[in-house]
């Protein structure tokens, strides 16, 4: 997932070199977050940043930004693209710089103090954003430039930037007046607080749940690697020798659900996962999310939209909720039929083993693994030794080298925020410096779950200088245990390649403006460059280059590669249905037309019953821990993964059709029109330039076995 940064203000750009002469705010003297960073490649000086720096830095940076905005609005010169739009675009540098660091640390190195700062600061940012969006004089200048757009000789990127700014003001409430304007500001402030609280509750729920095991009966069925993982977790939590701990972090939970033969413990662990935020205690999220949905509906209607989804989707490729529902419906029926067949296969095994129970949601992983063994003779544990994390990283780096000539050099001398972090200097095919990449792949209690990409500095150009991006990838993969290195599952490998696709989008960007560079694209396009990478990771030609046994150093045998290929569509009914269920849930929450707060549990049940979700499958995200839509930037947008997958399946076919998945001509077109272009043009226009035609859904249906 592309991580959502809580940037509310306009003209956001991360730049080193911001000074604080104009800031007269208590506590900002010698504040490292605002100083000129004398570091290699302008990377954050993490060793010097203290938690007490953040709030004063935010306050000072907002003051600086306000002064810049006031100067633009008060400019007596005739409004031009340069003195209004570009001036806005390059304003707020200090604020973006502070925000980029804080957002990264609050996701990866959080604690009670950081969360308290977030609760203080995010309402301030919301109010700051509103002050800009509702600045009548500023909007008047933007509108004046927009009204003469056709007479201006703008580049495609400049035209897109102008459109985005004008629409941004309108969508930010610029046309609101009086009580409506004040209510709009109040809603934004309240939503910012609720969003932070929702995410904190999910993190705390995730961190507090664990099962502690020790007996042979409790550990039955677990292979050595899963036992080692549990022992390592117990040791990290300072339990005595002989204890094994499993958590609801996915790298811990999924292997346990897959191999444990103790059905009661599988149920206990899985229910701990799916009941997060739904335990009627101080971490309960039901009222929070219901309030957020109601406030979003009210805000949309203030702006003249029937629903929040209509408001969000207007600026996406999908354009409206009807188009999203149409895509989901095309996939739902065939996926549900496949999932029902998968259920029948698993129930047959249960019956054959003499089980006297019906398959339940906490049984799915366990019996799916048995079906996979029965049908394909493929055991996940057989694959892990070939997916040592360093080899996988080398694999994805090597793929970038083969496609675009990029090289990656691990370097010292760059300050890191945690010992698990690695830093790389990225060079282009001509040997010139391209970017800095941080990787942070192991779980810890201070890090939220999932995987994401973001930036400390976005690529852009200013005053004739090319500003190189500083990018990071974050994951939560199983850590090394004892003498054994970190061995990844197939799903982990896919995730690593996926997030690296986002990183490529940021690193290969060649745009002028930060607001159009890299991953600054519609939400339902941004997942395309990440998801297309997943097509390569299990391709036979690519596997042979990076999948080596961590002990013998032997390459993965052809027999295993064939098994992977044979099983490529296995369990796709389940994977598609649980994902689509969450997408429907998101869309139903955000197509509400009334502003009454719903009973969250009742509403969720009603939605899932209406679409016909079978009880053996739980929505990938239940409402109470759906961080994407209630603590992130994916509200009305969780569908974007499958929308983007239509693009990625079609795009990869362009390589496959040549007979060479490294085809240099296709790779160069993909780099030029997709990775380098960011959001500098309409997303579909960029895709057509790359592909020469519109994407065809048939490649996605074939890929998932849903024809």
Catalytic residues: 499
CA distance 429 to 625: 43
CA distance 115 to 81: 39
- Record the tokens describing residue 434, joined without a space: 């391209």
CA distance 175 to 134: 8
Q: 3-state SS of 584-645? A: HHHHHHCCCCCCCCCCHHHHHHHHHHHHCCCCCCCCCCCHHHCHHHHCCCCCCCCCHHHHHH
CA distance 396 to 534: 10
Would you give the distance in Å from CA 226 to the centre of its chain?
27
- Taking the CB of residue 551, how many other CB atoms lie within 10 A of it? 10
Question: Do 246 and 303 meet the contact criterion of CB atoms below 8 Å apart?
Answer: no
* DSSP β-ladder status, 460-462 and 452-457: unpaired
- Record the tokens describing residue 535, joined without a space: 């097509």
CA distance 492 to 319: 32
CA distance 624 to 205: 11
| Strand ranges (E), 288-370 | none
Half-sphere exposure of 497 (CA within 13 A, CB side): 28
Question: Do 502 and 468 meet the contact criterion of CB atoms below 8 Å apart?
Answer: no
Distances (CA, A) of 687 to 261, 642, 657, 682, 695: 48, 16, 17, 9, 8
Listed residue (514, 503, 469) closest to 680, CA to CA: 514
Listed residue (619, 573, 569, 571) closest to 335, CA to CA: 573
CA distance 510 to 468: 10
Would you give the distance in Å from CA 487 to the centre of its chain?
23
DSSP-derived letter for residue 515 is: G
All residues at 6 or more sequence positions from 85 whose CB lies less than 8 Å from its CB, including other chains? 142, 145, 158, 161, 162, 165
C-alpha torsion 255→261→267→273, nearest 10: -10
Would you give the distance in Å from CA 144 to the centre of its chain?
36
CA 549-552-553 angle, to 5 degrees, is: 60
CA distance 564 to 542: 13
* DSSP β-ladder status, 422-427 and 460-462: unpaired
Would you give the distance in Å from CA 624 to the centre of its chain?
18
């Amino acid at each position: 997932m592309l991580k959502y940064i809580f940037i509310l203000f306009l003209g956001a750009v991360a730049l080193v070199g911001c000074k604080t002469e104009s800031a007269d705010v208590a506590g900002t003297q010698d504040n490292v977050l605002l100083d000129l960073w004398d570091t290699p490649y302008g990377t954050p000086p993490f060793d010097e940043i203290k938690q007490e720096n953040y709030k004063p830095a935010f306050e000072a940076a907002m003051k600086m930004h306000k002064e810049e905005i006031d100067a633009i609005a008060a400019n007596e010169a005739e409004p031009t693209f340069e003195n209004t739009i570009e001036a806005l675009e390059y304003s707020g540098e200090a604020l973006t710089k502070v925000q980029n660091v804080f957002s990264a640390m609050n996701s990866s190195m959080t604690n009670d103090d950081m969360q308290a700062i977030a609760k203080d600061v995010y309402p301030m940012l919301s109010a700051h954003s509103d002050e800009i969006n509702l600045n009548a004089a500023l909007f008047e200048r933007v509108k004046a430039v927009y009204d003469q757009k056709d007479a201006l000789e703008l580049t495609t990127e400049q035209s897109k930037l102008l459109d985005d700014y004008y629409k941004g003001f309108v969508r930010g409430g610029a046309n609101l007046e009086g009580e409506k304007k004040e209510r709009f500001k109040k809603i934004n402030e309240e939503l910012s607080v609720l969003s932070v609280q929702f995410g904190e509750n999910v993190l705390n729920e995730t961190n507090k749940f664990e099962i502690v095991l020790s007996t042979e009966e409790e550990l039955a069925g677990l292979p050595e690697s899963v036992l080692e993982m549990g022992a390592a977790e117990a040791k990290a939590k300072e339990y005595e020798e002989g204890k094994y701990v499993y958590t609801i972090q996915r790298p811990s939970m999924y292997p346990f659900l897959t191999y444990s033969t103790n059905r009661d413990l599988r149920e206990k662990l899985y229910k701990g996962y799916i009941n997060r935020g739904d335990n009627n205690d101080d971490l309960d999220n039901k009222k929070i999310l219901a309030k957020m949905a109601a406030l979003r509906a009210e805000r949309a209607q203030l702006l003249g939209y029937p629903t929040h989804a209509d408001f969000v989707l207007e600026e996406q490729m999908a354009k409206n909720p009807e188009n999203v529902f149409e895509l989901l419906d095309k996939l739902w029926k065939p996926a549900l039929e496949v999932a029902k067949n998968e259920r029948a296969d698993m129930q047959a095994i249960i019956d054959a083993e003499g089980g006297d129970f019906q398959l339940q949601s906490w049984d799915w992983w366990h019996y799916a693994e048995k079906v996979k063994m029965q049908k394909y003779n493929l055991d996940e544990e057989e694959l892990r030794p070939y997916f040592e994390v360093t080899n996988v990283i080398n694999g994805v780096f090597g793929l970038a080298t083969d496609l675009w000539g990029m090289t990656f050099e691990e370097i010292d001398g760059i300050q890191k925020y945690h010992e698990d972090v690695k830093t790389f200097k990225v060079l282009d095919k001509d040997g010139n410096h391209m970017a800095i990449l941080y990787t942070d792949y192991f779980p810890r209690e201070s890090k939220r779950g999932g995987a994401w990409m973001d930036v400390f500095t976005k690529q852009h150009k200013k005053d004739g200088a090319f500003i190189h991006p500083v990018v990071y990838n974050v994951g939560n993969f199983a850590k090394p245990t004892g003498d054994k290195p970190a061995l990844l599952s197939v799903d982990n490998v896919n995730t690593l390649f996926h997030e690296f696709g986002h990183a490529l989008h940021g690193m290969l960007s060649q745009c002028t403006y930060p607001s159009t560079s890299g991953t600054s694209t519609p939400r339902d396009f941004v997942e395309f460059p990440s998801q297309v990478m997943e097509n390569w990771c299990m391709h036979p030609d690519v596997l042979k280059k990076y999948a080596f046994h961590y002990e013998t150093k032997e390459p993965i045998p052809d027999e295993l590669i064939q098994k992977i290929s044979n099983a490529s569509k296995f369990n796709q009914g389940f994977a598609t249905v649980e994902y689509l269920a969450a997408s429907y849930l998101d869309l139903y929450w955000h197509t509400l037309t009334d502003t009454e707060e719903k009973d969250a549990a009742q509403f969720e049940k009603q939605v899932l019953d209406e679409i016909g979700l079978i009880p053996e499958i739980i929505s990938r995200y239940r409402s109470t821990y759906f961080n994407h839509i209630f603590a992130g930037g994916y509200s009305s947008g969780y569908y974007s993964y499958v929308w983007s997958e239509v693009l990625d399946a079609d795009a990869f076919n362009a390589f496959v059709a040549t007979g060479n998945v490294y085809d240099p001509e296709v790779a160069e077109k993909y780099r030029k029109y997709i990775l380098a272009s960011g959001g500098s043009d309409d997303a579909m226009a960029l895709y057509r330039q790359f592909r020469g035609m519109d994407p065809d859904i048939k490649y996605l249906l074939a890929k998932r076995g849903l024809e």
